[in-house]
Structures are given as C-alpha cells and as structure tokens.
Structure 1
Amino acid sequence: MSAALMALTGHAEDRTAAAREWRAAAKPVVGYVGADVPVELLTAAGVLPLRLAGSPRADDGAGERYLGRGLDPAVRSILSRLLAGDYGQLDGLVVSRDCEASLRLFYAVRELRRIEPATALPPVQLVDVLHLPHHTTTRYVLAKVRQLRATLEGWVGHAIADADLTRAVVAHDRLRDLLTEVARLRRRQPARLTGTQALSVVAATTALPVERATELLQRLLAEAGSLPEAEGHRVFLTGSSHDSPDVYAALEAAGLLIVGEDHDWGDLLFHRRVGGSTELALAERYQHNGPSAARASIRRRAAHTAEAASACGARALLCYARRHDDGPPWDFPAQRAATGLPAVSLERQPYGALDIDARAVAARLRVTEEVAR
C-alpha cells in the first residue's frame, strides 16, 4: 500500500484526528451532516469542516431515545455520538435537509439545546437546499447560502471576506478534480483501487483541511503506478449511502469489485464543480448537485446510474437499501432497465452490514448474469 493511501485510510478510520490537531491550535471546528452543506463557506470562515459519520458497531440507544426506531439508523447513530462527545468539541453544527432523517436530527439537536443544556450540544444551523430546476429555487437556495454565511460569521466572530470565499471555492473545486482522477484508478481494467479503498479516500477528505486532503491526493496519484492490481467481478453499487466501509469490505471479500456508486459518500460527492466565486455560483452548484435517492426523480436517478455504470465498465448492478431508507427500492426497477445490466436488490438491510452472506450475494449476481446471457 502506498504511503499516501495508508495516511488517507488512517484519517478515514480516525475521523477526528485532524480536528484534534485543529483544536489544539485553538482553531474552530464545525461539524456538518449531509452533502448539501456548502463546505466552501466553512473553509472560508477559517473553520475545519468535519463531516459527521455514524458508527454501525456503536450503541445508538441515546439517539433512539430522542428519534425513535422508525428512522434511518445512520442518523440515530450520529445523534448518539454527538451526545457521547465522540466528535470532540464542536464550535457549531450545520445540518442539510438532504432527507427527512437529517431534518429530524436538526430539530432534535435544537430542542435538546433548549430543554437540556447539560448535554452541551453545539449551536446548530439548518441549510435547506432545494433541487428543483427553477430560477425561483435558485433564489431560495441563494438566500439559504447567505443565511449560513451570516451564521458562520456569528460563530467565528468575524466577517467572511469575498476573497476568502473565492480561495475556498478554488481549493474545493481542485479537490473535486483530484477525487475524479482518483476515481479513475478503480475504473481502469485492471483496477488500481478497490471500492473499499476508494470509499475510505473520499471519507478522509471530509475530515481533513482541504489543503492537507489535496496534498495527500496528489501524492496518491503520483504513487498510483506502485498500487497492486485489484481483481473481482465489476459491480456498480446504488441505493443507500455508506459512511463506513463495512458493507464494501464484505462484498469485496466475497469476490466483487465495486467500481462505482451513486451515493454522496462516494462518487456523487465530487460529481459537480462550483466553477465561480460568487454566492450565486455556490447556490447553483448545490441546487443542481445530485441526483440523490432522497431528492431526485426516478427518471433522473436512472439516467445518472446508467451513465455512471457504463463509464465504470460495470458488469452488474447491485442495490443496497438499509432499513428505513425507503427511496432506493422505488428507483431500482428504472435503474435496472436503464443500465441493462444483470441486477440484484437487497432491501431492509441493517446499518453497515448485510443480513445474508456476502458470498451468496456474489453468487446471485453471477447467476443473474448467466441467465441474462
């Protein structure tokens, strides 16, 4: 394994390592939930943006107490970890309305701060980004971007200069360019990265200062020639997002190779650039970003999945939908038809795990492919 890949994997496993260093230098850290949060504004404010992830193996009882059981377990886990102080001291929390579960998380944190101040939860701001293709939607999202900017200025105690926003946009667009180059490493035939490794690389960049993440990606690309070839049955993964590598690792240990995905902890996170230095350009980037399972139409999801799966050279389509994530099963029939690939759907799966042997999943995909021939 290359030194850069080892470093990135380490930051994916210990997501608060950079935040601890940042805090030790008396610099603020702001957590965020969801890919609809304009991280450029956080960087421009001089804070470290730390995307919060759940933990499939941790106790989520505290989150269940306030959110109930009928909600995405990944969000229950995030609230449990917030209450336990697992993310360290946060100077603020920004939550996007990327799905109903995230919205419920926002309301829970805001109310807990009001009625149970001993929980010591950070101040919280909601970012409500809509994804309709209308000029009125753009104006609405622009207002929300400006609202977040004002909130961040209040948290850090100084104005966000336009020049700082411009630099942050350039830096994050550069990071997206590099992530796109890294994604090509697993699309090669033979691949140079596994899906598990690629997922960890993306996760690491959401827990590091943008400059440090950029440096490590540049080193990884420079070391690409020394990476071993990755083997396996080439699969495109759709459905629920994955904030931990557990499911990827299980599937790849069973002989599959995940060469692409359409969730926002993977390829969808860096799918679109800002391409401008204004608040309007920022608003348009997040308005038109996607398409996520929770916010996009079935037709748009199917078209995106078909294009992405073809670009990856995938031989099969696998849909993984965890419990209480109801969007992906509605998308799957249209995605299967649009890709024309042998396809298998796994529904109501436990968070960060499979309820059947991964080898059985791999066998089902291969049988489906043989039948399709």
Structure 2
Amino acid sequence: MEEAYAGRGASAASAKDPAPVVGYVGADVPVELLTAAGLRAFRLTGDPESGSDLGDRYLGRGVDPVARSVLARLLAGAFGDLDRIVVSHDCEASLRLFYALRELGRVEPGAGLPGVYLVDLLHLPHRTTARYNRRRIGEFAARLEAWTGRPLDVAGAMAAHDVRRRLLAAAAELRRAVPARLTGRQFLAVAGAPLPVNEHIPLLERLLAEAGRLDEHAGKRVFLSGSDHDTPHVYEAIESDGHVIVGEDHSFGDLSVTEPIGAASLDALAEHYHRSGPTAHRATAGERAAHAAAAVRRCRADLFIAYSRDGDEAPAWDFPAQRAALDIPSVLLERQEYGRADLAALRKESPCPM
C-alpha cells in the first residue's frame, strides 16, 4: 500500500487498467459515477518539492498553494495523459482552479489541457440545497453517459465503493488502537492510494488480514485538524518528532472514510455528498468544534494540532472554538508553508522527549 502511495501523482496511466483516465480535484467529486462510467478516477495532487511558478502565473500567489501546484503540474504534463478533468466546488481554491483551467483551454489550446467540468455541490442544510445537488448529480451522470456513449452501472459502482468504505473503516480502527497499529502517514497511504476501487479492495483486504502482524507505534497521540494534506510531508515531519497521528478532519484522511451509502440511486448519492464533511471550508466553527471533541475522544488523542497552510486561512478561524471544546492540550500551527510544519512551535507548546 505504501508503494502505491509513493507513486501517487506521478502518472495517471496504468498498464493494469487501460480505461480512460479522469483526473479530479476536490472532495465533492462523486467518484462513484466515474467508476459507473468505466473510467479511471485519479485524484490530482500537488508537490511541495517541485515549485508552482507555472500555477502562480495564472492563479496568483494568494490562492492556496495546493491548487497552484496542481495547475503547475498539469501544465508541465506531470500526470501523463488525462482524458478529462473534473473539479468540485469544495473550496474557493478549487473553484479558482476550475476557472483557470477553463480559460486556459479557451485561450491557450496549445497548452494541451483536457476538457474540464465543474461539479457544483453545496452544503447548506436546506431542502432547496438538496434539490440543487440532486440536479447537479443528474447532470454529471448524463454528461458521463455522453462522454462514454453507454449507460452507467450505478448499482455496481456504488456497491463496490461501499465495500471499500467498510474496509477503510476497519483500517481506521487499526490506527485508533492503543498502541496504534498504523501511523498517520501509513493511513494516509491506505486511504489515498491512487487505485481504481476494484484494485484497492484486495489490497485493503490483505492489510486487514495481516493486521495481527503490524508493528505497534508508540508516541504522543495527535489529532490533526485543518488544511488538507495531499502529500505525506507534514505527517512525516510531525511523526518523526515522536508523535503518532491517530486521526484528522481533512478530506484525504478520516473524512474520506464515510458510512456506506446503501441505496444504489442518484438520490442517495446526492444526499451522501450533501452531508459530507465537516471541512473548514463548508462548516461552522461550532460544527467543527463539536466534531473535533467527538473525534478526539474516539481516537484517544493526547494532543490537538490545528494546521493552517499559508493561503488557506479558514482552519485557523475555527481554532478558538475547537480549543474551548477540548480537554487536551491544543496547538495552532498557522500560516505554514505547503508541505512543512513548524516543529519549533510544536515543541514549544508540547515538549515531546526523543
């Protein structure tokens, strides 16, 4: 599984799966429909090591550096051949990326970017929002049928993704064990392996079958809140300092491990994405605080770290309410460089013997 994660983002191509490849950005893309269409879904990620100059040129430096890095990598051809790109409106940076890709396709066709489509789902707690999302899901399903020229296997795809959800939930329990049987970095690899669901399932089954032979991981148990982490860099920095990340609230980690949907219908799928979260960009501070308190108890965490990346300020706004709701020490790492964690600030607030 870690080998699968290590190759993440390098190329979307797969000799094992010759299906057309759709790169996607954002937590609200209904990947079940991509599977139902017989497409290979590949979540696009940034790279803190490669720079973002090309992305900065079109997005400016005020946008979350993950979006700028993804755009730079797309323009550099880092993902190989993509047939389409799908972007969701899960945050402002994703929406800005969509507009940039659409405009680049219009004015610079020589850039070689594939066509881009926006899935615009909302998360307000209203019936009108639910109806809006159902219409957007239906439009996306119709667009996929037009792209592929065949009907979608919605029932088969949703059943397969529900199997993966159950397996991921079981893997998440390994990390919550005391002592943890997976590190945070390892779980990030498990949850985010860039594999089609039919390839991911047997790897998860093998991991769970070998759970009794996994190493135990001691250290101060950390719950990590805030910005998304699309690479393992920050996890590696924190865990190399004597901590073990046993939970988080971003879309590449625990928030991707949801309850099975059950009903194989577009209505059920729309409802699932309507109530997903709560991320820092689409939930209130009170909702985030309540979620943090419950998750910290479930993970039996010793330390709460709120991480806010430079260009992604929303997570820092939630920290006062989160800290007030917790009964464990809490630390805010604010305005962090993409892929980096200020360990000096962390050690100052929470000394951890090495």
Q: Does the 8 Å CA contact 1:11/1:17 hold for their aligned counterparts?
A: no
Where does 1:294-309 land on structure 2 (aligned, <5 Å)?
Answer: 294-309=281-296
Q: Does the 8 Å CA contact 2:102/2:116 hold for their aligned counterparts?
A: yes
RMSD: 1.5
Q: Does the 8 Å CA contact 2:53/2:72 hold for their aligned counterparts?
A: yes
Where does 1:90-101 land on structure 2 (aligned, <5 Å)?
Answer: 90-101=82-93
Match of 1:314 among 290, 295, 301: 301
Distance 1:249 1:16, change over 3 A: closer
User: Structure 1: which amino acid aligns with 2:188?
Assistant: L
Match of 2:3 among 1, 10, 13: 10
**Residue 113 (structure 1) aligns with:** 105
Displacement after TM superposition at 1:359 (Å): 5.9
Residue 139 (1) aligns with residue 126 (2): no
Give the TM-score of the pair, scaled to structure 2: 0.96
Deviations 1:258-306 (A, max 9, x none): 1100000100012343221110000000000100100111111111111
User: Structure 2: which amino acid aligns with 1:219?
Assistant: R
Displacement after TM superposition at 1:337 (Å): 1.3
Residue 254 (1) aligns with residue 248 (2): no
**Residue 227 (structure 2) aligns with:** 240
Distance 1:360 1:68, change over 3 A: closer
Where does 1:318-333 land on structure 2 (aligned, <5 Å)?
Answer: 318-333=305-320
Separation (CA, whole Å) in 1 of partners of 2:97 and 2:11: 25
**Residue 364 (structure 1) aligns with:** 349
Residue 75 (1) aligns with residue 67 (2): yes
Deviations 1:86-121 (A, max 9, x none): 111111111000111100100110110111001111
Match of 2:261 among 274, 292, 295: 274
Displacement after TM superposition at 1:365 (Å): 1.9
User: Structure 2: which amino acid aligns with 1:115?
Assistant: V
Q: Which moved more, 1:60-69 or 1:265-274?
A: 265-274
Match of 1:349 among 311, 330, 336: 336
Separation (CA, whole Å) in 2 of partners of 1:350 and 1:332: 18
Displacement after TM superposition at 1:341 (Å): 1.6
Unaligned ranges ≥5, structure 1: 1-7, 368-373
Unaligned ranges ≥5, structure 2: none
Separation (CA, whole Å) in 2 of partners of 1:120 and 1:148: 23
State the secondary structure of the residue aligned to 2:350.
helix
Residue 202 (1) aligns with residue 191 (2): yes
Match of 2:78 among 61, 64, 86: 86
Where does 1:201-220 land on structure 2 (aligned, <5 Å)?
Answer: 201-204=190-193, 207-220=194-207
User: Structure 2: which amino acid aligns with 1:336?
Assistant: R
Residue 54 (1) aligns with residue 46 (2): yes
Distance 1:136 1:58, change over 3 A: same
Q: Which runs of 4+ in 1 moved over 6 A?
A: none
| Greater helix share, structure number | 1
Q: Does the 8 Å CA contact 2:13/2:21 hold for their aligned counterparts?
A: no
Residue 171 (1) aligns with residue 164 (2): no
Q: Does the 8 Å CA contact 2:9/2:44 hold for their aligned counterparts?
A: no
Deviations 1:163-213 (A, max 9, x none): x10111111111111111101111111111111111111111xx1010110
User: Structure 1: which amino acid aligns with 2:33?
Assistant: L
Deviations 1:330-373 (A, max 9, x none): 1111111112221010100000112x3x2651452248xxxxxx
Q: Does the 8 Å CA contact 2:279/2:288 hold for their aligned counterparts?
A: yes
Q: Which moved more, 1:176-185 or 1:265-274?
A: 265-274
Q: Does the 8 Å CA contact 2:9/2:45 hold for their aligned counterparts?
A: no
**Residue 154 (structure 1) aligns with:** 146
User: Structure 1: which amino acid aligns with 2:267?
Assistant: L
Displacement after TM superposition at 1:155 (Å): 2.1
Q: Does the 8 Å CA contact 1:125/1:151 hold for their aligned counterparts?
A: no
State the secondary structure of the residue aligned to 2:201.
helix
In the comparison of the two structures, how many residue pairs are matched? 352
Distance 1:64 1:275, change over 3 A: same
Separation (CA, whole Å) in 1 of partners of 2:27 and 2:259: 12
Q: Which moved more, 1:148-157 or 1:137-146?
A: 148-157
Separation (CA, whole Å) in 1 of partners of 2:319 and 2:161: 32
Match of 1:189 among 155, 178, 182: 178
**Residue 276 (structure 2) aligns with:** 289
Q: Does the 8 Å CA contact 2:10/2:79 hold for their aligned counterparts?
A: no
Separation (CA, whole Å) in 2 of partners of 1:362 and 1:144: 46
Separation (CA, whole Å) in 1 of partners of 2:282 and 2:233: 25
Q: Does the 8 Å CA contact 1:271/1:290 hold for their aligned counterparts?
A: no
Give the TM-score of the pair, scaled to structure 1: 0.91
State the secondary structure of the residue aligned to 1:131.
coil
